[in-house]
Chain A
Amino acid sequence: QSALTQPRSLSGSPGQSVTISCSGNNSDVGVSNYVSWYQQHPDKAPKLIIYDVDKRPSGVPDRFSGSKSGNTASLTITGLQSEDEADYYCCSYAGTWVFGGGTTLTVL
């Protein structure tokens, strides 16, 4: 199964909002209620930040939110902070698990 499509990089200034897209097709994202997002800082393990499209684990700030429309899922980060600078990966389950290629977010 092919990796989901994410923008390779995005940037934003502190306080701004950014949205990271995750595009699939009607055999993965389009038919899955199980889209999750992971944040990974350099040389660190990934951390779950969104699951089941739009749910946040306890401890994850409400600045992070998830949504889905058709074959595209999105992660929105509002009120950008310097510590949000990281790589972000989406993941969809539709029979097997498939990750996106990852987006590097730079906070200017």
Chain B
Amino acid sequence: QVQLVESGGGVVQPGRSLRLSCVVSGFTFGSYGMYWVRQSPGKGLEWVAFISYDGSNKYYVDSVKGRFTISRDNSKNTLYLQMDSLRAEDRAVYYCARQGGWYVLDYWGRGTLVTVSS
């Protein structure tokens, strides 16, 4: 069955960096676009980034442009989110999700919590 497992979250000081990973199984990773979506505590969902199946196209929400980088290693079935210059407002649970259909997030992982605090 389709599984997505995020890791790499933790507590980090403002201005520092963190790299999240999402290991997938149960489907051909290299055939699907992938997303990162975050959810601040007690808040709604926010799309963060998208990467096409081959990594050739990447898109970001304005608030993370220039600070976050989405990437993938299709040989390792792994999606990444490199987060630099972290801010307090980046504190959230970060989910990875698979692109199903054109613009749909059809399977989600259980998320990893990122806390930015001094």
Q: Which A residues form the contact surface with B (CB < 8 A)? A: 1, 3, 34, 36, 38, 44-48, 51-52, 57, 89, 91, 93, 96-102
Contact = CB atoms under 8 A, between A and B. Distances in A.
Nearest to A94: B103
A99 B44 contact: yes
Contacts of A46: 37, 45, 95, 97, 105, 108
Q: How large is the interface on B (under 10, 10 to 19, 20 to 34, 35 or more residues)?
A: 20 to 34
Contact of A52 (B95, B104, B107, B111): B104
Interface of B: 35, 37, 44-47, 50, 59, 61-62, 95, 97, 100-111
Given A97-B50, A98-B47, A34 B103 contact: yes
Contacts of B47: 91, 96-99
Given A89-B45, A101-B44, A102-B44, A96 B108 contact: no
Given A97-B50, A99-B46, A99-B47, A52 B101 contact: yes
Given A45-B110, A45-B111, A99 B104 contact: no
Given A45-B111, A51-B100, A91 B44 contact: no
A54 to B, nearest CB: 13
